[in-house]
Structure 1
Amino acid sequence: MIKTIIFDFGNVFINLDIEAAHKHALETFQIESLSEEMLGFNSFYEQGLISTDEFLEFYSENFPKLPKEELIDVWNFMLKDFPENRLAFLKTLKQSSKYKLILLSNTNALHINYIKEQLTFYEEFKKCFDSFYLSHEINLIKPNQDIFEFVLNENKLKAAECLFIDDNQDNINTANTLKIKTWHINPETEDVINLFETKKNLF
């Protein structure tokens, strides 16, 4: 029996366009691909291991012609809309009190600040969760196993009683190794609001 639902944020609640953002970054930076160093800094930033100032300074040194405002725009380019029917679904789920609700997201301060500015109901959204974990705040990142173990331990959860919803296959794979039930959601064809129809075998 599922007692806890663990949700990803991007492409579960807020829509992302990762492919377009990657293309936009390459065009803006006038490069063929992101270097290993850039990917490393991106990961450090999402784990909260470097500050926003340090992150932007790295990109400013590598692309001195670009103002910081444009670097921030490139970084936030992937963030799109948050359909309000998903908030309504979440609020109904919260009001039912049937499940413990947890958010577990790989994200960073710039993305969250942008979302708070754009999303009038961010605090309302956040209050729907019993626990709200952002990678840069807990210094852990998916798909590493330790982030899942952290969530299980912090909330005294049994893996087999948890459902984890994420659009990233690597994250799903790690959850599966811990015997957490999963839904590898396809943002192109599926919507979290249809959870109980799509995964009715679990409930």
Structure 2
Amino acid sequence: MLKVHKSKVLVSLMQYCFMDIVFATNNRHKVDEAQAILGADFSLTTPKDLKLFEEIPETANTLQGNAFMKAQFIWERFHIACFADDTGLEVEALNGAPGVYSARYAGEEHDPKANTEKLLKALAGKKNRTARFRTVVALIIDGDTFYFEGILNGKISEVPSGNGGFGYDPVFIPEGYDKTLAELTPEEKNSISHRGHSLRQLSKFLNNHVS
């Protein structure tokens, strides 16, 4: 866990654990995945649930910066416990690209299919297809910020395969597997995924502070 701004968080955590916590995203896939990972101890609320329909900013040049920016966007408006995440696909042969720009790799439309097509074209003819997913979660409680990071190593496939998941899942083969994330069951994916690792750290942190 990466941590900053350590201060008195116990009382606030007791108010929020086993209750609603705001996930600063309106991506239904991410919300469902996070809820499955966090389990029944937490009920996730989204900005839309709070009648907040403004676009959530993510214009930082790092994953940590984006995660903080999104969480802070909620905190400044509601002053309630909230968290946000940002994920990047880092491809070795592309010097870490698309990285922080993964969601908009092919343009501001955030089109997963176009992003994947651009990635495969960029890797055409390259033998080194090593890659990793990296997720950073930012949690804000009483103005204090805590960070959690998850990494999943693997490689990029030659062609998309599978109908599950979202984003780059159809072309990412996790280390130790012979199929893509999109070919795994949700339970299999969540048990190994970068987002799963970071959210389990978040869950452990919250539970440890109310035990």
* Higher helix proportion (structure 1 or 2): 1
- Work out whether the TM-score is over 0.5: no
Q: Which has the higher strand share?
A: 2
- Name which structure has the greater RCO, CA cutoff 8 Å, separation 6+: 1
TM-score (norm 1): 0.28
